[in-house]
Amino acid sequence: MSTLKGRIAVITGGNSGIGYATAKKFKEEGATVIITGRSKEKVELAAAELGIKGIIADVLNLSAIDEAVGLIAEEFGKIDILFVNAGVFIPMPVGQSTEDGFDNLLDINFKGAVFTIEKFLPILKDGGNIVNLSSINAYTGMPNTAVYGASKAALNAYTRAAATELSPRKIRINALNPGPIATPIFSKTGMSEEQLKGMGDMMQDRIPLKRYGRPEEIAEVAAFLASDKASFITGAEYNVDGGLNVNPIFAV
């Protein structure tokens, strides 16, 4: 069944990982999909592989978001779905946080998400919906994620308030809180292979289902929230984490 047939969907950071898997799923469900990202090479490659449209836009650059909105409006008119997926993970221990790391996390994960929504709202149809990609780290207290988790907790708070404010337009907005997912995001942290393995083993041991999630599993929930099947859901947070939220204790 094509649950998104005839819908126009925009996915930020859609060239890899969860964004890529969701773009593929949305297309399979009948949507016309546009992905954005900051790497021209990666966006063009992903768009070609998926047979969709790709636009270069860095969420750190508000003018670039404006330009992307203009291009999309010119070609497609208004959109039905906005999946705010672009984000970054930078591990920083408390007491060793850097200003650059802090700014990068908050600028991309929170400011970038908020202003992506602000810029797209004029071309989002009444009755449309927004899905924000957050993280279970907003709750778990995992070591080295204090600032990252705070950036995602801020996004969740924004999601709840926005659900109330956008309700007169019948726009639904919800958040997805993935647990550890097997995506390239961890390889971008600057951690060594040994550190990545240690972190991975620690997290996997705490997950009741004893495995990492797959991007496709997040895409399934995103597609559900973007569809009419979720027509009475707004301001909600969906934990897709293998049960990590019910077993969050991490020894330092």
CA-nearest of 97, 250, 83 to 180 is 250
Q: Determine the straight-line distance between the first and last CA of the chain, rounded to whole angstroms.
A: 47
Structure tokens at 231: 């027509």
Would you call 148 a catalytic residue per the annotation?
Answer: yes
Work out the number of other CB atoms within 10 angstroms of the CB of residue 71: 16
Q: 């672009």: which residue's tokens?
A: 86
Query: Looking at 148, 158, 212, 238, which residue is catalytic?
Result: 148
DSSP structure class, residue 207: S
User: Is the separation of the CB atoms in 84 and 130 below 8 Å?
Assistant: yes
Work out the number of other CB atoms within 10 angstroms of the CB of residue 143: 14
- State how far the Cα of 225 lies from the Cα of 219, in Å rounded to an integer: 10
Spell out a b/e string for 186-217, using b for 16 or more CB atoms within 10 Å of the CB, else e.
beebebeeeeeeebeeebeebbeeeebbebeb
Does an H or E element contain 215, and which?
helix 215-226
3-state secondary structure of 84: strand
At position 191, the amino acid (one-letter code) is M
Structure tokens at 8: 């126009």
- State how far the Cα of 67 lies from the Cα of 65, in Å rounded to an integer: 5
The catalytic residues are 148
